[in-house]
Structure 1
């Protein structure tokens, strides 16, 4: 709750007019001697509801009871309840086909009723509705806010009223007596008992393994191992759905025969109806087959190559509008006919063209430049994999020595020896070797030609990176044997063409790592257990719950859609990435290396050798070279988040003992370590014994949900939608002299390269996916754009405004860096300014479409 006696937050004009009319009638009744008795008073409210698409709003079918936070009912030991009051319609506005309904409600309560701290809403309508917010005017100077943001289902389904708490924050021991029992009951009701299949209206949060990725009932080739709960396949937990088990594999869940997006997500986690329709519209407009992974013909048929680069470019400028109305029945079932018709009209009007990716917008050949290839490792969409080389030849944990020798790189080190370059922190490595080697024999199949790779890079005098050697490895006949080839840069002739093929194989490795690890695992998957634990253990009144809530928005629903469409067996990622059916096993393998205490940016930079300790710096680290866009911008964002988190925590926790004595907080942290990330419970975690532990944990979590996700998600279309720059798979090995393939390569080097790239169908499917995953929807909420925590403390509001000012200052510094021609890694040959960590603060939420600007609060796509 945000309360002020200096400047009350106004109701809408229509609602305020209604309130004034009430006051006017009260004045008339006073004059006529018919005033409300002095032992009673009026509380007026405004309710904002979004109707379920295709249905009407609840109207008088919904009623509300207020619950006092200051007066206890001796019969229930809970806050006193007002009498029921029905909603009265004030007005309806339209927003992209949705009905936004404004209702008024009034209560006559006893004078000693006190201040409302919660309300119960009863939905006797036949349809669910999305309750956006509620505001109650207690007096002319005091307004109580409720940021609801949840679906409310009919009571015939739920069998109970729905309770919402005000935005007021209380630590457990500070809870008003009237709210203590409600706080306890609400948390208990959310935990479930681990049995039964969950229904869409149930607000129950339980943990489960990833046992819903395979589809054994469809055939053995679609079976996948259960991820989580075993040493062989550790993984973060997901929300439990309780779906029935597979007939052919009782350890896994059965899957619908046709694509079905109605997968269980608790009402508080379900997408806003506006976002749901917009996401569906974006998917249809990008490509119908993006949301129909069961359409085999997309991959199995018509998978030939393009004939030339120019033909490939026509994908982004050709007229594909003639297919705009050919929408399969499976898609029609996903949206009401009216909304679907509007989507199709918009799609036809846009001629279904893919926008031109930034990587080829300024220079269609910039992606071939070695400097651009290297720059994308520190300023592209996977900038946290590169590390400083600290041992030469590169160390391997699987026992096979690298074949890269000093002679391979000596002539590309600006006159330095390899030892001198390493001592000056100038040699780096992009390593996709150790984790891939055990999988390659399973990955390499018909049409999939993959290597494990190591790429060495050198930081030149002008500050730009350049690749100096690439090693590609294939498994030998035994685990301690490899076939290795080393490639070095060349500017012309056959050697240059071979070098380009080697870079392409590296880019394919990096594409799979980016999607499966940096994007999915390190943001989407690892955050979900925190959401579950927060709902189960932190009351909605808890300040940490309120601080984190904006950073959890939509994540669980998006993850559920990913499990059904992208990361499942036969899903889009298996069909497009070279890792194929081992994709999620590979993700599990790399989860073994994950530690929460290393996910904060300063810790990550130190671990990768990209920074050194600097106790005088506010971040505690110093970059080893300043032209590292992800690192430099990221550290600015990190310290702004940490400052905000510190300021916020100091308001509620005055000393370390308050952290230790907070039962909800301690239960939350215990559950994250031992249940949500139960496979990592024996590894290093913050102890949560003091304010420093709490601030570091919360900063890391907010960084992961906002800035880290933005850095790996919203540049995907700019870089990855043009497959020659970042292919998802390769269909040919690099030819060796004396073979038929080498002769074929000599005849037409460009043709061989194009045939190495994904086929038409894989490529088109991938471009469509990149477009959807790079979209900012119109209801997105961004870091620092508006108060994420509306507390009853003016102090908190002022601290948030300080956070917002800090982000605006960072925004200007980033823009200044991008204008500096000496910072060569800021744009590179492709001239793409680094904006993936640009806050782009606006008071209106208008950063929509395919853009790298703006840091969304949460993992919302």
Structure 2
């Protein structure tokens, strides 16, 4: 292993504190024995959460403090204090999770110096979650430790756990007492554990997506490895589970629906977050899924018979008893403790699920062409609309059909694959292209939809263009055409816009940061809140959402090839084009303008996602540039920063290994490039994810508005299907939508993903102001928070302005998805349809 060399320079602020302590100790004696010269005491508080049913550690846990400034000549590390055991001070309980504050008193030598780290030993039988610690050093110096990690019993880990204080140091500026500790900590995190990782293994590594299938259970559940030359993809966190017997390249799986999945302890949800997330999921299952499970046994009842039946999904006030046969099926796919929670929840009243916003004010607003077009600009997938380069464009039969909104997901499939999807008999998929017209008032008017099927072997091709109509048969056919477009867009949204472009692409950056950047590093401190809980939610997705037989394969039209399709679209992904300004330029919805902070001018103001997004992006960019300029005075400082350079290199060469040869992915030669890429990363994890995730219940929670697949092709004149269609066009439309059970799963998923947790931290929020002791950083952060508050007020004003028609539309849904903060509401959590969390935490 190559050791890093440090040019050791004292930190000015730290040196000032040290001098104050030395002056205190060097005062002349008054004639009485100075007990301070014999012993000093450092007092502190430690805040700990523990799981429901687990007791707190109490005296079973002990703490020792490392000096950051005084080196022990025998160890080469900072001086180490005596052990001090935790003493309970106060405790409170919320949602079944208990939080306890403990105190400690640590004896240290007078020449101990300034604390820089502490280690904690857990001799208790249970793990616990340590939120934070605060130490009171001499001269009233308060030192804060932002911990937020699990500490497991020593019987498992065989080692104590170290936490560093809130001070920021580039590698070359590390205090003498922390140099070796800094390096040892990173070596431990990069260490490899042979075999399956246990929940207490705090080790980070990369792996392919070879954990989605379960061929040992059923050959139909085999899935190819995603990642590599044939199916490129970002890497995921390594778990090291045994390989399958029937597919040696595939990793074995646990039960399908399991919330207790492996991620390193630093990445695991807190007890509060896990309890709330589990409760939300169970309530959604009980409210929507359980009552519709019986429709699987009664095919004739598998479709909704009326729009009233869809509305009744949301008006249920009580759960329904879980039938014994269903309980046995649940036991096959989830742990017993979850089955018990589901049966218990079904016996009482369930959580209130409101009617999705799209159907509150106007039950049939979703039918309106204006609303269909508006959602391309302000709905749950506003990132695909683009301006055409030339007009008019011709289709195969001479009609104008080319689009500003295309189903790229279909364009990535060959003819054989489309035929394969449709051959299963339960899905009917077209390739689709949609042309819309931007009116003078900035509203969007649909002009045409082209639906096509490829010619392949003995399969005849199909190509037809549908045009808007207000009434009669043509209007009903037009509504079916829109449903097929929306089914394609739903698949693209979930598999690419949402999962790939936020969740999946960010995970390698998190793994690399934990392996290469010390928690003391300024860039670690900048990115840490934006990476919170992402690895855990991604692991849950691989267990429940994107796995073979999982939720997305059951509700999206691509079925078992969902992840292969996502891989195809990863081939087009470039990190440097994920920033909003470049994205808008690529889609020809903005023009270059060097006078603006972001370098672009949006093409038209009434594009809610684009306009609000640019404001948020500019604020993030300013904050990142200000922050980095504090620590990197010139490019040479960055080039000599081994930790950042190794992080960037590892992400390029391992985390996104299938992209490393592409010319756009360069090294980090200057601070300008660093701030550009950091701004993009923070935008992806905050603004972009919020815009494409938290509106899902409002729009996709109502099946007619955003069906996830279609079960019928559009009927052609002269066929039996067309006669059936003419008898009852609404019935035919409802039969085209996903069946009752698929719809219930989709609604439940949208409800869970759109719900903020109670303790969510939003953009511009950090844990207590002690997250750093750097005054200039705190000053710049206050400016960032102030700017976000101004943007919030601007967004509210735009929503009130009647000239911005796309901000409300026929459904009268104000665009709030990029409203930075929802924590000032009466209820912090829940489905608020606004708020930008710091990270991809759901």
What is the TM-score with the length of structure 1 in the denominator?
A: 0.90
Matches within 5 A, 1:563-582: 563-582=542-561
Match of 1:632 in 2: 611
Is 1:702 aligned to residue 682 of structure 2?
yes
Q: Secondary structure at the match of 2:190?
A: coil
CA shift, 1:797, in A, is: 0.6
Q: Take 2:280 and 2:609, find their aligned partners in 1: how far apart are those partners? A: 28
Q: Take 1:646 and 1:436, find their aligned partners in 2: how far apart are those partners? A: 41
CA shift, 1:687, in A, is: 3.0
Match of 2:207 in 1: 208
Q: Take 1:258 and 1:620, find their aligned partners in 2: how far apart are those partners? A: 47
Match of 2:471 in 1: 492
Is 1:506 aligned to residue 505 of structure 2?
no
Two-structure CA RMSD over aligned residues (Å): 2.8
Closer, same or farther: CA 852–686 of 1 in aligned 2, 3 Å = farther
Q: Secondary structure at the match of 2:136?
A: strand
Higher mean C-alpha displacement, 112-121 vs 677-686: 677-686
Alignment check: 8 A CA contact 2:288 2:747 kept: no
Q: Take 1:710 and 1:404, find their aligned partners in 2: how far apart are those partners? A: 41
Name stretches of at least 5 consecutive residues in structure 1 with no aligned partner: 9-29, 395-400, 410-426
Q: Take 1:845 and 1:31, find their aligned partners in 2: how far apart are those partners? A: 59
Is 1:430 aligned to residue 429 of structure 2?
no
Closer, same or farther: CA 664–601 of 1 in aligned 2, 3 Å = same
Match of 2:376 in 1: 377
Q: Take 1:545 and 1:479, find their aligned partners in 2: how far apart are those partners? A: 58
CA shift, 1:785, in A, is: 2.6
Of 565, 574, 578, 1:586 maps to: 565
Q: Secondary structure at the match of 2:313?
A: helix
What is the TM-score with the length of structure 2 in the denominator?
A: 0.91
Closer, same or farther: CA 199–312 of 1 in aligned 2, 3 Å = same
Match of 2:5 in 1: none
Alignment check: 8 A CA contact 2:283 2:350 kept: no
Higher mean C-alpha displacement, 154-163 vs 479-488: 479-488
Alignment check: 8 A CA contact 1:408 1:488 kept: no
Alignment check: 8 A CA contact 2:382 2:609 kept: yes
Of 805, 829, 834, 2:786 maps to: 805
Closer, same or farther: CA 227–215 of 1 in aligned 2, 3 Å = same
Q: Secondary structure at the match of 1:256?
A: coil
Q: Take 2:826 and 2:515, find their aligned partners in 1: how far apart are those partners? A: 31
Is 1:782 aligned to residue 762 of structure 2?
yes
Closer, same or farther: CA 480–645 of 1 in aligned 2, 3 Å = farther
Is 1:712 aligned to residue 705 of structure 2?
no
CA shift, 1:33, in A, is: 8.0
Alignment check: 8 A CA contact 2:43 2:136 kept: yes
1:418-472 deviations in Å (ceiling 9; x for gaps): xxxxxxxxx7333334124543122112121111110011101211001101001
Of 748, 752, 766, 2:732 maps to: 752
Match of 2:265 in 1: 267
Match of 2:669 in 1: 689
Closer, same or farther: CA 801–118 of 1 in aligned 2, 3 Å = same
Closer, same or farther: CA 783–237 of 1 in aligned 2, 3 Å = same
Q: Take 2:825 and 2:71, find their aligned partners in 1: how far apart are those partners? A: 41
Q: Take 1:270 and 1:172, find their aligned partners in 2: how far apart are those partners? A: 27
Match of 1:355 in 2: 354
Is 1:283 aligned to residue 259 of structure 2?
no
CA shift, 1:346, in A, is: 7.1
Q: Secondary structure at the match of 2:359?
A: helix
Matches within 5 A, 1:304-703: 304-323=302-321, 328=327, 350-351=349-350, 354-392=353-391, 402-403=395-396, 405=398, 428-432=404-408, 433-438=410-415, 439-444=417-422, 445-477=424-456, 482-683=461-662, 684-703=664-683
Closer, same or farther: CA 592–815 of 1 in aligned 2, 3 Å = same
Alignment check: 8 A CA contact 2:759 2:828 kept: no
Q: Take 2:223 and 2:378, find their aligned partners in 1: how far apart are those partners? A: 35
Higher mean C-alpha displacement, 303-312 vs 731-740: 303-312
Q: Secondary structure at the match of 1:527?
A: helix
CA shift, 1:334, in A, is: 5.6
Matches within 5 A, 1:2-151: 36-151=35-150
Closer, same or farther: CA 481–385 of 1 in aligned 2, 3 Å = farther
Is 1:833 aligned to residue 814 of structure 2?
yes
Closer, same or farther: CA 685–52 of 1 in aligned 2, 3 Å = same
Matches within 5 A, 1:171-210: 171-193=170-192, 195-210=194-209
Q: Secondary structure at the match of 2:828?
A: coil
Alignment check: 8 A CA contact 1:602 1:635 kept: yes
Alignment check: 8 A CA contact 1:371 1:829 kept: yes
CA shift, 1:406, in A, is: 5.6
Count of aligned pairs between the two proteins: 809
Q: Take 1:349 and 1:3, find their aligned partners in 2: how far apart are those partners? A: 61
Match of 1:852 in 2: 833
Higher mean C-alpha displacement, 594-603 vs 36-45: 36-45
Alignment check: 8 A CA contact 2:407 2:432 kept: yes
Alignment check: 8 A CA contact 1:656 1:691 kept: yes
Q: Take 1:736 and 1:240, find their aligned partners in 2: how far apart are those partners? A: 51
Closer, same or farther: CA 340–739 of 1 in aligned 2, 3 Å = closer
Q: Secondary structure at the match of 1:216?
A: coil
Q: Secondary structure at the match of 2:668?
A: coil
Q: Secondary structure at the match of 2:501?
A: helix
Q: Take 1:336 and 1:285, find their aligned partners in 2: how far apart are those partners? A: 15
Alignment check: 8 A CA contact 1:368 1:500 kept: yes
Of 738, 743, 751, 1:763 maps to: 743
Q: Take 2:297 and 2:577, find their aligned partners in 1: how far apart are those partners? A: 42
Q: Take 2:264 and 2:153, find their aligned partners in 1: how far apart are those partners? A: 15
Match of 2:25 in 1: none
CA shift, 1:405, in A, is: 4.3
Match of 1:727 in 2: 707
CA shift, 1:392, in A, is: 4.7
Q: Take 1:319 and 1:89, find their aligned partners in 2: how far apart are those partners? A: 42
CA shift, 1:622, in A, is: 0.9
Closer, same or farther: CA 289–824 of 1 in aligned 2, 3 Å = closer
Alignment check: 8 A CA contact 1:713 1:774 kept: yes
CA shift, 1:53, in A, is: 2.0
Alignment check: 8 A CA contact 2:192 2:203 kept: no
Q: Secondary structure at the match of 1:127?
A: coil
Match of 2:8 in 1: none
1:208-247 deviations in Å (ceiling 9; x for gaps): 00000011112221111100022x2000000010001111
Alignment check: 8 A CA contact 2:191 2:204 kept: yes
Closer, same or farther: CA 325–36 of 1 in aligned 2, 3 Å = farther
CA shift, 1:51, in A, is: 1.6
Q: Secondary structure at the match of 1:114?
A: coil
CA shift, 1:668, in A, is: 0.4
